[in-house]
Structure 1
């Protein structure tokens, strides 16, 4: 039985209304947040216009960083210590997205055990987690928590909060790179269904993410060089996963995008820590 995918059809609306719709769709796609239907939105549950909404993904990513940032502030105000505060912030970030990106990282790591392209794609679709996936999840969570804890210890609360928001925007933008610069590895996956974003839309998103990072870095007291390093490392990880995905799968999948986001977040934290370490 064929299923007809509902698409969003908009009547003529204003620019800011269209931008708000795109942000709302991005938040629904990337998180478990209960984003309500907007008054001028015809269908809140339609397949998102992914090639369009990526232009505002940095704003949506920054929004997804608010709850973890507030959790970090709450933990520090209660004097729970940097390690506990960082753990709670990462936990809230994971819950907010429903482990969306973490699942992609685990599936990507498990797929390394496949001997052929077809077997790797099959492993990616398997809901079970293997030894590679479990190890990748543990190491990623450990690194995110320990790096954020060190940033709190060396940079203070304000800088750490701004860093969380910056990285939420930068890492999700980096996660777009395989989706933009590679064809889908299969024609029946989610990456194929939502459509391939244009390179022009990606560069707009990348520029917006960089501007947001520079502004937040200024608020947090970070020198532009430190922000530049975080941007560069995020982009480098995106480029690395483009190469890896092409060699590994001959294209991209949503899991590759999730893995890219996770590793880009870790890389940005490492870059930040190298700049603020006494």
Structure 2
């Protein structure tokens, strides 16, 4: 595949998944062709992860404590994505946790207001991400922690894409319906790219066990979210895909903490 095509597809993925000022003309405001860019989504996730990793290393170089450095890194990720996935997590938690039936759950997920379930899920997810990053910084050092963050951001984006493939849309409109379901080939390409990126980044610094732990953790997060979404709303939405990414990135980092020590 030509480098120009890869760069163009990564740019399209970044325009959709982040608030980074990526030029794109008329394409900038259009829903991406998921089948075309699926393989590039983990690469876009790695670019976003690089932002958080760079902030983490800069904060530590300035002699800030690991906890504060981790908070700043996660803040940078939130700003870079415009709370894209965090919004999905909060809406999913409110809908799946507070709705009595499928119709009410979907209606709650569409409501822009945040409820108790959503606020709690968002707070806990941010704490877990900060805590995991702080733990990696203390146990593995700044560079290895930053690399783990880049790999986690890449692999977790694939989990969100695979959720869209695993389940039919729960409603006929919304972000998930707009981008469509990826084909089997696109989903496979996305998965392989995520595994490749994670492997290249982590094998030398953490070992093959940490790579498998992170990827298997992200897969288990995907399976759990898919089963829950299928049972409670009969399919997937963009919010659930965002929530899946958030759960996957946390589990990936925890897996690296547990199996990557040496």
TM-score by length of 2: 0.96
Q: 1:249 & 1:43 partners in 2: Cα distance?
A: 32
Do residues 90 (structure 1) and 74 (structure 2) align? yes
Post-superposition offset of 1:42: 6.6
Report SS of the residue matched to 2:98.
coil
Aligned positions, number? 261
Q: Give the match for residue 141 of structure 1.
A: 126
- Alignment counterpart, residue 30 of structure 1, candidates 10, 14, 17: 17
Post-superposition offset of 1:276: 4.0
- Alignment counterpart, residue 146 of structure 2, candidates 161, 166, 169: 161
Q: 2:177 & 2:75 partners in 1: Cα distance?
A: 30
After superposition, the C-alpha distances for 1:67-94 in whole angstroms (9 at most, x for unaligned) are 1111001111011011010000000000
Structure number with higher helix proportion:
2
Task: Kindly indicate whether the alpha-carbon contact (under 8 Å) linking 1:233 and 1:268 is maintained by their aligned counterparts in 2.
Answer: yes
Q: Which runs of 5+ in 1 are unaligned?
A: 1-13
Task: Kindly indicate whether the alpha-carbon contact (under 8 Å) linking 1:185 and 1:252 is maintained by their aligned counterparts in 2.
Answer: yes
- Alignment counterpart, residue 108 of structure 1, candidates 92, 96, 99: 92
After superposition, the C-alpha distances for 1:102-128 in whole angstroms (9 at most, x for unaligned) are 000000100121001000000000000
Post-superposition offset of 1:211: 1.1
4+ aligned runs moved over 4 Å, structure 1: none
- Alignment counterpart, residue 199 of structure 1, candidates 176, 184, 187: 184
Report the more deviating stretch, 190-199 or 258-267.
Answer: 190-199
Do residues 45 (structure 1) and 32 (structure 2) align? no
Q: 2:162 & 2:106 partners in 1: Cα distance?
A: 19
- Alignment counterpart, residue 129 of structure 1, candidates 106, 114, 119: 114
Look at both structures and tell me which one has the larger radius of gyration over its CA atoms: 1
Q: Give the match for residue 237 of structure 2.
A: 253
Q: Give the match for residue 218 of structure 2.
A: 234
Q: 1:79 & 1:70 partners in 2: Cα distance?
A: 14
Report SS of the residue matched to 2:28.
coil
Q: 2:158 & 2:261 partners in 1: Cα distance?
A: 26
Q: 2:43 & 2:207 partners in 1: Cα distance?
A: 22
Q: 1:43 & 1:176 partners in 2: Cα distance?
A: 20
Task: Kindly indicate whether the alpha-carbon contact (under 8 Å) linking 2:209 and 2:260 is maintained by their aligned counterparts in 1.
Answer: no
Post-superposition offset of 1:52: 1.6
RMSD in angstroms over aligned alpha carbons? Answer: 1.4
Task: Kindly indicate whether the alpha-carbon contact (under 8 Å) linking 1:64 and 1:93 is maintained by their aligned counterparts in 2.
Answer: yes
